[in-house]
Amino acid sequence: MKKSFLICLIVLLGIMIQTQIIETREYAVLTVVVQDIYANPVDYARVSITRVYPRPEDSTVPDQFTRNGAASFNLEAYREYILTVTKAGFLAYTKEVELEEDTTITVTLEHAQKLPVLHVVQYTLTPGEVSPGEHFELHLTIENKGTGDALSVRIAAAPAQIFSPVQPSSSAYFERLDVRKVTSFSLTFAVSGEALSGVYNLLLTIKYQDAASIPYTVQESVGIPILRRPLVKLLNADYPKEVEEGESFTFSVEIANGGRFAVNGLYLEVVSDMDWEYSSYYIGSLEAGDYDTFESEVMAHALGDHIFIIRVGFVDDFNRVHSQEKSFSISVKEKLEETPPPQEKGLWQKFIEWLKAFLGLG
């Protein structure tokens, strides 16, 4: 009986001691930050935690995947753990960690392969709007976004019906473009004079090699906007350069389409401080080589020099409104009052004047 009681007492004490130990365990947060060799956060990397000296009561620590480049674990403090990080395309990372308090560990993963990857990251045009029959420069910026250096880099444009490369700046060559490096260059092209307005794709071919002389080819497409520019002119303006105050005059001008295609949405408006019979005129569509005439009566009241503006507007092939203007001047002079000519005296009037003078009355 005493022996059984003693055994029960020992077991009870063991349970109490174990419970006390469990209740007094301390925990710490282990934060694992995962990045690549360029300090970019690596998402969806698998982070695994195992204990160096496992105990029977220890449970398995579930794996986590990084979000925004990080994963956190609430672990028992004052123990040693094995940290393992894996991610497709990277070499696996393993480290032994002795955790005593909240700790952050930064893990840098190295790429499994050294592969150069070149891409066009920016391009601009000079001039900003290209017209048929013109030359333009294509300013390109390319970057090596891969994991290895690129060697013998060649960039050229594929043959196209609307674009013609202009030598010698129609291609580019670089001996190397290292990882994360950026380079810029320009290519020159001529546009066909028969091109219609629109956005055309220009295909670029980028060829290069890696350190093992393995060749790579990348094709990039850039959009080139082509816009036919209407050629509208004001011709044969007819009006007096000088008028008197309050005098009306006629102003007329021809609106001519000097281009090779029709102009749409064509209109004319007048900006002036004088009184115009018509201050605007809508033409609509004007065919190539054709013209229209604007005519209006004008009245000037204020003296001095007057400047008035004739503004012409139209719509381009991209439905954008454009306008151009031309200034004219006229001088308004003071109106002179006419003095009536002296009337010739008659015979009777002459006799009266003689009589007054004879009698001393004049």
Helix, coil or strand: residue 62: coil
More confident residue, 172 or 16: 172
Spell out a b/e string for 278-301, using b for 16 or more CB atoms within 10 Å of the CB, else e.
eeebebeebeeeebeebebebebe
**12 confidence band (pLDDT: 50, 70, 90):** low
Position 3: which residue type?
K
- Class for domain 118-226, per CATH? mainly beta
List, for residues 252-303, the tens digit of each pLDDT value. 999 999 988 899 999 999 999 999 999 999 999 999 999 999 999 999 888 9
> If you average pLDDT over residues 133-148, what whole number do you get?
93
Which option is the CATH number for 232-333: 2.70.210.12, 3.30.1330.120, 3.30.750.24, 2.60.40.10?
A: 2.60.40.10
Q: What is the pLDDT of residue 24?
A: 60
For residues 151-174, give the mean pLDDT. Answer: 87
Q: Pick the residue with more confidence: 329 or 128?
A: 329
What pLDDT, on a 0 to 100 scale, did the predictor assign at position 19?
Answer: 45
263 in Cβ contact with 282 (< 8 Å): no
Closest to 333 measured CA to CA, from 240, 256, 255: 240
Query: By C-alpha distance, which of 134, 345, 146 is closest to 225?
Result: 134
Cα distances (angstroms) measured from residue 177 to each of 84, 138, 217: 33, 20, 15
What letter does residue 30 receive in the DSSP assignment?
A: E
CATH number of the structural domain 24-109: 2.60.40.1120
CA-closest candidate to residue 281, choices 314, 321, 327 = 314
Per-residue model confidence as pLDDT tens digits over 168-177:
777 899 999 9
Report if pTM > 0.85. no
pLDDT higher than 60, residue 217: yes
- Percent pLDDT > 90 in the chain is 70
Pairing type for strands 135-144 and 79-86 reads unpaired
- Residues 324-334, mean pLDDT to the nearest whole number: 94
* Whole-number pLDDT of residue 23: 45
Confidence of residue 21 (pLDDT cuts 50, 70, 90): very low
Query: Is the separation of the CB atoms in 308 and 274 below 8 Å?
Result: yes
Q: Do domains 24-109 and 118-226 have the same CATH topology?
A: yes
> Are residues 150 and 202 in contact, defined by beta-carbon separation less than 8 angstroms?
no
Q: What percent of the chain has pLDDT over 70?
A: 87
The pLDDT value given to residue 160: 82
Amino acid in position 241: K
Q: Are 71 and 32 in contact (CB under 8 A)?
A: yes
Name the average pLDDT for the chain.
Answer: 88
Query: 97-115, pLDDT tens digit by residue?
Result: 999 999 999 999 988 888 8
Cis bond before residue 168 (omega within 30° of 0): yes
Sequence spans of domains, the chain: 24-109, 118-226, 232-333
pLDDT, tens digit (0-9, with 9 covering 90-100), for 29-87: 999 999 988 888 999 999 999 999 999 999 999 999 999 999 999 999 999 999 999 99
- Which has the closest alpha carbon to 79: 104, 47, 51? 51
The answer to whether 84 and 47 have CB atoms below 8 angstroms apart is: yes
pLDDT attached to residue 159 = 79
pLDDT at 340: 61
pLDDT at 4 over 90: no
Mean pLDDT of 1-18: 49
C-alpha of 188 from chain center: 21
Residue-level pLDDT at 113: 84
Q: What is the pLDDT of residue 337?
A: 66
Supply the pLDDT for residue 336.
Answer: 72
User: What is the predicted pLDDT for the residue at 341?
Assistant: 62
pLDDT-derived band at 17 (thresholds 50, 70, 90) equals very low
- Measured CA to CA, the distance from residue 282 to residue 280 in angstroms comes to 7
Sheet holding 150-157, edge to edge: 171-177, 150-157, 198-209, 215-226
Q: Residue 140 above 90 pLDDT? A: yes
